[in-house]
């Protein structure tokens, strides 16, 4: 129950005193003492969490001037007042002793992690000088920016002002890109982040590889628990018996790489038995007959030997899904870069949802709504002399965002034109891009490598200049506007000061712009002026959002039946069961299955996923989160482990089929995984010596991703195509 906060009470008292006419020196002295008292005691400051990209609304508690704890902001629609374990452990990001402290310039070879501490001006001058040289010798297009999250907004702005079109984030080609392309081809719209999944109202939830509960996107897990509590029918398809699988009515231990066969067989059953939403398909669908014809051969009997799932189970689960439609949600997943056919597989997921009529319907996928906030006016960006370098000749015709691996290719080959500099913000490219060796080779081709980060990540180890950013608790960021069930605005604001010489992203981007002669693009004098302008233009104020943390907008309908617009941005203006776009581009207009490549005999396919207490490879030095999980383990089927003479707690090294050997990692011998694959949580096995707490703890899956399959539609990098054997450490 919210009681009158001490600060507010004291403020009221102070202003009351002033108002009562006790003005002048006496009043001033009283107010001073009152303010000093307010600094002791407990202060609650709303902000946005930054431990992952969900941006939950949080309230940070400061007790006697020290950061104490963080709780959820009850006004936030994403967190509903409860944070996930990473958010709860967020104070550790501020207290992390392994944090970057000051700007660094390397004093030896790239990758040797030998630095000299410098001032901000020295570091930024170094960078600006080299960026100007690249601009002069090759053109500004030869400078690429990799930036992830809203903290990258100001860097994107600086780069566009500088004149480079090469701005990418790994979230497309390495994470959710195929899904958004597959759904775009079907519905004419993306799934988005946060996903537009109405899990809380689903009566049947189908999870294909999505391991909610271990994958800890807060709202999704909260809604998943609601669905479980309501007794929703849950179907889990996963080679590993995940936490979600343990709550499922049906668990399908599918052979890795064969999900598309299962999806096609499900759709075959639903079409053949007439279980689909006829009205919905008739009203909104295009090309249904050709689609149905293409599914003729995709019988459950055909899918059985491919997937290992018996035909009766396939029929039973298909009927179960149909039973609850349209409140049946086949979850689109998030990280879907698996086998190189991922856009088509995601399209199959979209098609299955379309058959069940769940798109735009309650319990399926709602139509998200957002808050429009005008930007801060600035001069128009210069037009780049050349187009982006990542997808030359539109080799991947359906890529809707820049391809990080495409930029890397251009860096390595110099085609279509050379890339001479990388500026990296908040993404550990060595862990996010597959084929670490290629990334390192690319880094060695560059004239300039700049990394902005909060911890000395592996990519920072390869930089020429490392710039330490303040963690989220110490800075403002650009406004957070999400597309979600209801419109709202969120503000990230500082709670405590940076302990050393760290600076926020807006300050760095602005200062760098100044050094590049681009001051005109930053006409505001500080971030508060920038935010105030934008908020005022939207009818609100900085003071208001600083106080509440979240500004809700007026609710709008999110289901078709309530009036949300049933519009589909496809060529036909309808849901494309048959895609003429794909057909014209030479791809399968209806997804077609090809079996995955087998690995070498005796080797295990390496699968990876998430743990609820960590985010990627960026939290392993957070003292609180590291305490909750300090190393990962390799999950091996119990029988397979026994045959290898391994038991839980033994240490092994993974040997990749191409020869790379991992750091030692603990074995988890378990009945919870198929015998043909092994599984690890991503983000461990750190090799950066500056990450003292996490150094060489556990093994790195990213190190093992030396092979990948590129999706021909959109350039995504499927990474579940690596095979390993286990070598005992004993």
Partner 1 sequence: MFEFTTTRHNLLVDPALHLWGWQVAVYLFLGGLVAGLMIISGVRLVVMRPKERHSLVCCTIGPLIGLVLLSLGMFALFLDLEDKPHVWRLYLTFQITSPMSWGSWILLLVYPALLANALAHLPEAIPALSRRFPVLVTWSDFILARTRLVLAIGFTNLVVGVGLGIYTGILLGTLGARPLWSSSLLGPLFLFSGLSTAAALLHGILVLTLPDEERPEFADFLLSTVARWSQSRPLDPRVVPTLARADNSFLTIELTLLGLFLIGLLTSTEAHQHAARLLLGGPYAATFWVFVVGLGITIPLLLQLLELRHTIRHSLVPAVLVLGGGLALRFVLVFAGQASHWVVALR
Partner 2 sequence: MARYVMVIDTRRCVGCQDCVAACKTENGVPESYTRDWITETVDGEFPAPRLEIRSERCNHCENPPCVSCCPTGASHVHDRGGVVLVDRAKCIGCKACLAACPYDARFIHPDGYADKCTFCIHRVERGLDPACVSVCPTHCMHFGDRDDPFSEVSRLLASRPHHTLLPEAGTGPCIAYLT
List interacting residues with partner 1 (CB under 8 A). 628-629, 638, 648, 668-671
CB of 531 to partner 2, least distance (A): 28
Contacts to partner 2 from residues 620-659, by CB under 8 A: 623-625, 627-629, 637-639
CB of 72 to partner 2, least distance (A): 8
CB of 23 to partner 1, least distance (A): 55
CB of 670 to partner 1, least distance (A): 6
Q: What is the DSSP letter of 3?
A: P
Q: CB under 5 to 8 A by kind: which of partner 1, partner 2, none does 583 bind?
A: none
Alpha helices for 295-375 (secondary structure H):
300-307, 311-323, 342-356
Q: Which residue number, 33 or 643, has a Cβ lying nearer to partner 2?
A: 643
Beta bridge partner(s), residue 604: 724
CB neighbour class for 312 (10 Å; exposed up to 12, middle 13-18, buried from 19): exposed
Q: Which residue number, 215 or 344, has a Cβ lying nearer to partner 1?
A: 215
Q: Which residue number, 132 or 648, has a Cβ lying nearer to partner 1?
A: 648
CB of 626 to partner 1, least distance (A): 12
CB of 635 to partner 1, least distance (A): 11
Per DSSP, which regions of 547-691 are E strands?
550-552, 575-576, 604-609, 633-637, 651-656, 665-670, 677-681
Binding to partner 2 by residue 360, rule CB under 8 A? no
* Rounded CA separation 214/223 (Å): 14
CB of 254 to partner 2, least distance (A): 10
Which range, of 156-164, 192-200, 410-418, 668-676, touches partner 2 by CB under 8 A? Answer: 668-676
Q: CB under 5 to 8 A by kind: which of partner 2, partner 1, none does 364 bind?
A: none
Q: CB under 5 to 8 A by kind: which of partner 1, partner 2, none does 313 bind?
A: none
Nearest to 267 by CA among 255, 279, 281: 281
Residue 631 in contact with residue 666, Cβ under 8 Å? yes
Per-residue buried b or exposed e for 381-415, using 16+ beta carbons within 10 Å of the residue's own CB: eeebeeebbbbbeeebbbbebbbbbbbbbbbbeee
CB neighbour class for 558 (10 Å; exposed up to 12, middle 13-18, buried from 19): buried
Q: Which residue number, 69 or 394, has a Cβ lying nearer to partner 2?
A: 69
**H/E run at residue 69:** strand 66-72
Q: CB under 5 to 8 A by kind: which of partner 1, partner 2, none does 648 bind?
A: partner 1
CB neighbour class for 36 (10 Å; exposed up to 12, middle 13-18, buried from 19): exposed
Q: Which residue number, 85 or 591, has a Cβ lying nearer to partner 1?
A: 85
Binding to partner 2 by residue 612, rule CB under 8 A? yes
Binding to partner 2 by residue 202, rule CB under 8 A? no
Q: Which residue number, 71 or 320, has a Cβ lying nearer to partner 2?
A: 71
Label the pairing between strands 104-106 and 115-117: antiparallel
Tell me the CA end-to-end span of the chain in Å, nearest whole number: 56
Q: Which residue number, 247 or 540, has a Cβ lying nearer to partner 1?
A: 247
Nearest to 242 by CA among 612, 576, 693: 612
* Rounded CA separation 174/151 (Å): 19
Q: What is the DSSP letter of 45?
A: E
CB of 231 to partner 2, least distance (A): 10
Q: Which residue number, 564 or 628, has a Cβ lying nearer to partner 1?
A: 628
Q: What is the DSSP letter of 616?
A: T
Q: Which residue number, 77 or 340, has a Cβ lying nearer to partner 2?
A: 77
Residues 6+ positions from 9 with CB-CB distance below 8 Å: none
CB of 698 to partner 2, least distance (A): 17
SS (H, E, C) 678-705: EEEECCCCECCCCCCCCECCCCCHHHHC
Contacts to partner 2 from residues 249-278, by CB under 8 A: 251, 253
Q: Which residue number, 221 or 281, has a Cβ lying nearer to partner 2?
A: 221
Nearest to 46 by CA among 506, 611, 505, 488: 488
Residue 468 in contact with residue 690, Cβ under 8 Å? no
Binding to partner 2 by residue 200, rule CB under 8 A? no
* Rounded CA separation 264/298 (Å): 6
CB neighbour class for 671 (10 Å; exposed up to 12, middle 13-18, buried from 19): exposed
Among 53, 54, 241, 371, binds partner 2 (CB under 8 A): 241
Among 89, 256, 490, 716, binds partner 2 (CB under 8 A): 89
Binding to partner 2 by residue 45, rule CB under 8 A? no
Beta bridge partner(s), residue 105: 116, 465
Binding to partner 2 by residue 214, rule CB under 8 A? yes
Binding to partner 2 by residue 225, rule CB under 8 A? yes
Q: Which residue number, 245 or 424, has a Cβ lying nearer to partner 2?
A: 245
Among 139, 188, 514, 675, binds partner 2 (CB under 8 A): 675
CB of 640 to partner 1, least distance (A): 12
Contact residues for partner 2, defined by CB under 8 A: 1, 68-72, 82-85, 88-89, 91, 212-214, 216, 218, 221-222, 224-226, 228-229, 241, 243-244, 246-247, 251, 253, 612-613, 623-625, 627-629, 637-639, 670-675
């Amino acid at each position: 129950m919210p009681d009158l906060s001490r600060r507010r009470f004291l403020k009221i008292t102070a202003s009351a005193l002033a108002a009562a006419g006790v003005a002048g020196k006496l009043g001033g002295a009283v107010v001073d003492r009152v303010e000093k008292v307010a600094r002791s005691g407990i202060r609650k400051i709303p902000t946005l969490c930054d431990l992952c990209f969900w941006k939950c609304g949080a309230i940070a508690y400061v007790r006697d001037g020290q950061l104490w704890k963080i709780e959820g902001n009850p006004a936030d629609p994403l967190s509903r007042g409860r944070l996930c374990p990473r958010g709860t452990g967020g104070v550790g990001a501020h207290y992390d002793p392994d944090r970057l402290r000051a700007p660094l310039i390397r004093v030896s070879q790239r990758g040797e992690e030998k630095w000299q501490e410098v001032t901000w001006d020295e570091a930024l001058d170094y960078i600006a000088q080299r960026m100007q040289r690249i601009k002069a010798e090759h053109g500004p297009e030869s400078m690429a920016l990799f930036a992830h999250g809203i903290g990258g907004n100001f860097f994107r702005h600086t780069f566009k002002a500088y004149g480079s079109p090469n701005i990418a984030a790994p979230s497309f080609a390495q994470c959710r890109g195929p899904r958004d392309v597959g759904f775009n081809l079907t519905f004419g719209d993306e799934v988005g982040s946060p996903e537009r999944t109405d899990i809380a109202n689903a009566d049947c939830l189908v999870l294909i590889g999505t391991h909610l509960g271990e994958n800890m996107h807060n709202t999704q897990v909260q809604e998943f628990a609601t669905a479980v509590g309501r007794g929703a029918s849950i179907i889990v398809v996963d080679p590993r018996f995940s936490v979600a699988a343990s709550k499922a009515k049906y668990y399908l231990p599918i052979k890795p790489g064969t999900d598309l066969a299962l999806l096609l067989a499900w759709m075959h059953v639903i079409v053949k038995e007439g279980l689909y939403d006829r009205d919905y398909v008739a009203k909104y669908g295009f090309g249904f007959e050709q689609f149905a014809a293409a599914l003729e051969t995709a019988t459950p009997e055909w899918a059985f030997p491919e997937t290992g799932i018996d035909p009766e189970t396939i029929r039973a689960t298909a009927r179960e899904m149909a039973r609850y439609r349209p409140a049946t949600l086949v979850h689109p997943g998030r990280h879907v870069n698996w086998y190189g056919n991922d856009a088509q597989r995601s399209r199959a997921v979209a098609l299955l949802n379309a058959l069940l009529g769940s798109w735009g319907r309650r319990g399926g996928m709602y139509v998200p709504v957002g808050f429009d906030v005008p930007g801060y006016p600035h001069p128009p960006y210069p037009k780049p002399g050349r187009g982006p370098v990542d997808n030359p000749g539109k080799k991947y015709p359906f890529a809707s965002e820049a391809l990080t691996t495409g930029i890397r290719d251009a860096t390595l080959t110099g085609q279509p034109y050379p890339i001479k500099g990388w500026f990296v913000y908040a993404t550990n490219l060595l862990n996010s891009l597959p084929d670490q060796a290629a990334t390192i080779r690319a880094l060695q081709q560059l004239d300039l490598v700049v990394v902005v980060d909060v911890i000395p990540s592996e990519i920072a180890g390869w930089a020429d200049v490392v710039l330490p950013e303040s963690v989220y608790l110490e800075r403002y960021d650009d406004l957070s506007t999400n597309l979600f069930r209801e419109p709202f605005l969120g503000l990230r604001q500082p709670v405590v000061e940076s302990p050393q010489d760290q600076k926020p992203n807006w300050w760095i981007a602005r200062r760098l712009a100044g050094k590049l002669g681009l001051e005109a693009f930053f006409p505001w004098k500080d971030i508060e002026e920038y935010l105030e302008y934008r908020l005022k233009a939207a009818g609100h104020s900085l003071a208001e959002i600083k106080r509440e943390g979240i500004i809700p907008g007026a609710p709008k309908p999110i289901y078709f039946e309530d009036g949300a617009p049933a519009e589909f941005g496809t060529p036909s203006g309808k849901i494309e069961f048959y895609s003429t776009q794909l057909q014209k581009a030479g791809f399968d207009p209806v997804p077609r299955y090809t079996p995955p490549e087998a690995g070498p005999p005796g080797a295990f396919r390496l699968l990876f996923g998430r743990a609820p207490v960590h985010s990627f490879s960026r939290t392993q030095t957070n003292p609180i989160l590291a305490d909750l999980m300090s190393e990962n383990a390799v999950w091996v089927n119990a029988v397979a482990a026994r045959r290898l003479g391994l038991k839980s707690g033994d240490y092994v090294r993974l040997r990749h089929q191409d020869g790379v050997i991992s750091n030692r990692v603990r074995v988890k011998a378990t009945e919870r995984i198929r015998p043909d694959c092994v599984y690890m949580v991503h983000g461990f096995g750190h090799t950066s010596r500056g990450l003292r707490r996490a150094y060489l703890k556990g093994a790195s899956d990213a190190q093992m991703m030396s092979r990948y399959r590129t999706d021909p539609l959109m350039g995504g990098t499927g990474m579940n195509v690596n095979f390993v054997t286990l070598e005992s450490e004993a």
